Amino acid sequence: MKVFLSSDMEGTAGVVDWAQCVGDGPEAAAGRRLLLAEVNAAIEGALAGGASEIVVNDSHSTMRNLPPDALAGQASYISGSHRPLYMMQGLDSSFDAVLFVSYHGSIGAPAGLSHTYNPRAVMEARLDGVVTGEAGINALVAAHYGVPVVLVTGDRHACEETAALIPGVHAAVVKEPVSRLAAHSLHPVRACALIRETAQQAGAARRRRRRSAGRCWSSRSGPRTSPRRCD
What is the enclosing helix (H) or strand (E) of 89?
Answer: none
- Do the Cβ atoms of 229 and 143 come closer than 8 Å? yes
**Catalytic residue at 115?**
yes
> From the candidates 60, 82, 104, 115, which is the catalytic residue?
115
Q: Is 155 helix (H, G, I), strand (E, B) or coil?
A: strand
Q: What is the pLDDT of residues 11-28, one digit of tens each?
A: 999 999 999 999 999 999
pLDDT of residue 116: 84
Q: Residue 51: is its pLDDT beyond 80?
A: yes
pLDDT of residue 124: 85
> Phi/psi zone of residue 34: left (φ > 0), alpha (ψ -120 to 50 degrees), beta?
alpha
**Kind of pairing, strands 170-179 and 149-155?**
parallel
Q: How many C-alpha atoms does 164 have within 13 Å on its Cβ side?
A: 19
As a residue count, the chain comes to 231
- Do the Cβ atoms of 173 and 128 come closer than 8 Å? no
Measuring CA to CA, which residue among 174, 159, 44 is closest to residue 100? 159
Question: What is the set of domains in the chain, with CATH numbers?
Answer: 2-230 (3.40.50.10780)
pTM of the complete model: 0.89
Task: Determine the average pLDDT of the residues in 112-117.
Answer: 87
